[in-house]
Structure 1
Amino acid sequence: MLKFVAQLSLDFLFGGVKAIPNEGEEVLSKIFDIQLGGGTLVYPLVLSRLGVPCALLAKWQPSMHGELARGLLKSYAIHEVEMMEVDYDPIMTTAIISMEKDRSFVSHNDERAFQFSDEKLLSFYQDSDVVFAPETNQDIIHPLKRMGKTIVFDIGWQDDLDINHYKLLLKDVDYFTPNDKEAMAMTHTASVEDSVKVLSKYVKYPIVSCGEHGCLTWMDDTFVRVPVPKGIQPVDTTGAGDNFMAGLIYGIYKRMGIIESIKFATCTGSLSTQGIGCYGYPYTLKEILNMKKEITIKTYKERKYH
């Protein structure tokens, strides 16, 4: 079983909007939907749909938002759900306005919603083979590694990203997944290739996402680039990165190997853009595997793309 800690969230999705209205104006959307939101919540929901037994730990309050989120959650076949009831509203709500080329967001959140004690998380993750380590509780990564867990770790953008802040932590991480901007910033390099080489000194498998160029990793003194699948015309890119991560964790859990796992992940991320929101296109395992067959990796020794 895989276990995930997530914040319950709700996305109010407005699609097919021509432009953001000016102050005092109104625009009409062609599409509207209410879905559960993104982040780590996507992982157990997608993985459960793909047949992986999952458990979820989240905070909850019996409010209007809480009841709506819990009702939507029941439509997913998650094996175990643990709700910690709190005396504040832990549900993140986001209005997402999706236009032809980009999206805009308005969100409401309480930062306490994702705060758990190290002791609670260590106990929760005890029987999970693969752990997506929360950035908020970095002190648990070393104990989890000593338990024999496979550790997947990601970061969000910060203005002061620096590899020196992560050196010790990354030694316990198996898969590290920054995007190209984050990787170059934290390694103080001018190319994504150079950033991957630097990261490979500290983490077993650096996987850097590069937008339209796919993903880049470093194996056996060689750059390996996994391109995005061909023929995808995105409808909405909301949650594409989260679906990518869910696919990567699936591959790791199924022991596919790093390259096959990345190929699987590029398919889940790409397929998710065929519907609105994080869950608007409920792709199947068969679709992923068929698309994955068409991906041809590229290897090279010297800097090529950046």
Structure 2
Amino acid sequence: MKAIDVIVVGELNVDLILNQIGTFPEVGKEILAQQMTLTLGSSSAIFASNLSSLGAKVAFIGKIGQDPFGEVVLQSLQAKGVDTSLIIQSADLHTGATVVLNFDEDRAMVTHPGAMNALCLADISPEHLSRAKHLHFSSYFLQPGLQKEITDLFRLAKALGLTTSFDTQWDPQEKWDLDLAQILPYVDVFLPNEKELFKLTRTNSLTEAIAVLPENTRTVLVKMGNKGSVSWCDGKLLPMEPFLNEDVVDAIGAGDSFNAGFIYKYIQGASVEECQRFGNLTGAVSTTAAGGTTAFTDYNKVKKIAQEKFGYAL
């Protein structure tokens, strides 16, 4: 028996979220936000927090500074039951932060990477990985310390008997310099959104993108926001309708919440279709509250939101 269901390797930061703004700002001008929230940010941390809230045993490997934002990160993860004993704190580093401006269902973000630049493969012990059933890695383009070693990380995880998942997230430099042919043979579940997949594959349609992925790619889940999702597995494409929220608070962390729902079912051995449907649901649940983690207290709360908001019984 493994002590940990999922070990997450990734970036850690806080989000300063500005809601209820009339429009995006212009250079030299000031606008007002009627609501502000300081909360746990970063794709990896939102995924870990929500997966733990669903009931999985989750541990995290990452780096933060010894500063107030770092304490917010630790306390937020611990409050959701995430094992933070493998997170490295350094007085020489500053915890990263993202300022998020929400406007309708779109957003603009500015990120200070801070300590997330410093995480490298030497910080990840094979002994620690071997305690888990599954490895999840996210935000490749925000972690330069791991970019040259990412294939080694996935190869090590597979050698230790773990299943794996990978969500590249957006490339702020928009270079999209990532060798999928090298990495995906060691990835069991690849979790891009539609725009990211097109950028990574230099294509303009889903069929074209799937066609240029390596032949030994296992399972691909393409997140499509309010259009739902599409999975590709064993040569079959499966589009799935979304759970639509007509009163979106914000879409922060919706994709990470999809990932959490999918992997929660995946580590239980559920079918890709069942995993995908639950991912669609948890992605939608995320949009019912501010920030990426607020809607996820525990499984019972998710179950209640699913029934009351979306008419879906778990």
Query: In which range does the TM-score fall when normalised by the shorter chain?
Result: 0.7 to 0.9
RMSD over equivalenced CA pairs, Å: 2.8
- How far residue 94 of structure 1 moved from its aligned partner, in angstroms, is 1.9
Equivalent-residue separation in structure 2 for 1:146 and 1:5 (angstroms): 17
In terms of Rg, which structure is larger? 1
Do residues 46 (structure 1) and 46 (structure 2) align?
no
TM-score computed with the length of structure 1 as normaliser:
0.83
Aligned length: 294
Amino acid at match of 2:303: K
Which residue number in structure 1 is paired with residue 79 of structure 2? 75
1:141 aligns to 2:164 (yes or no)? no
Q: Which string of whole-angstrom CA distances, capped at 9 and with x for unpartnered residues, describes residues 66-95 of structure 1?
A: 334334444322245333231323411122
Q: For residues 171-213 of structure 1, what are the alpha-carbon distances to aligned partners after superposition, in whole Å with 9 as ceiling and x for unaligned? A: 2211112222333344444420232244372311122223333
1:277 aligns to what? 291
Partner SS for 2:284: helix
**1:250 and 2:254 matched:** no
Distance 1:254 1:21, change over 3 A: same
- Tell me the equivalent position of 1:299: none
Residue 30 of structure 1 aligns to a residue whose secondary structure is: strand
Identical columns (%): 23
Q: Distance in 2 between matches of 1:153 and 1:247?
A: 14
Give yes or no for the alignment of 1:261 onto 2:238.
no
**Residue number among 69, 94, 98 corresponding to 2:98 in the alignment:** 94
**Matched residue of 2:21: which SS?**
coil
1:56 to 53, 60, 75: 60
Distance in 1 (alpha carbons) for counterparts of 2:270 and 2:253: 23
Contact 1:209 1:216 in 2 (8 A): yes
Residue deviations 1:35-88 (CA, integer Å, cap 9, x gap): 111210112211221111111223233323333433444432224533323132
Q: After TM superposition, give the deviation of residue 267 of structure 1 in Å.
A: 1.0
Residue number in structure 1 paired with 2:143: none
1-side partners of 2:162 and 2:124: how far apart? 17
Q: Which region of structure 1 is more displaced relative to structure 2, 34-43 or 209-218?
A: 209-218
Once the two structures are superposed, what CA deviation does each residue of 1:103-148 show, in whole Å capped at 9, x if it has no partner? 2223322265451224624332112111113543221212221222
Deviation track 1:234-264 (CA, whole Å, cap 9, x = no partner) reads 2211111111111121111122121111111
Pairing 1:99-110 to 2, within 5 Å after superposition: 99-110=103-114
> Aligned in 2, Cα 1:102/1:218: closer, same or farther, shift over 3 Å?
closer
* Structure 2 residue 155 is the aligned partner of structure 1 residue 155: no
Structure 1 SS opposite 2:63 = strand
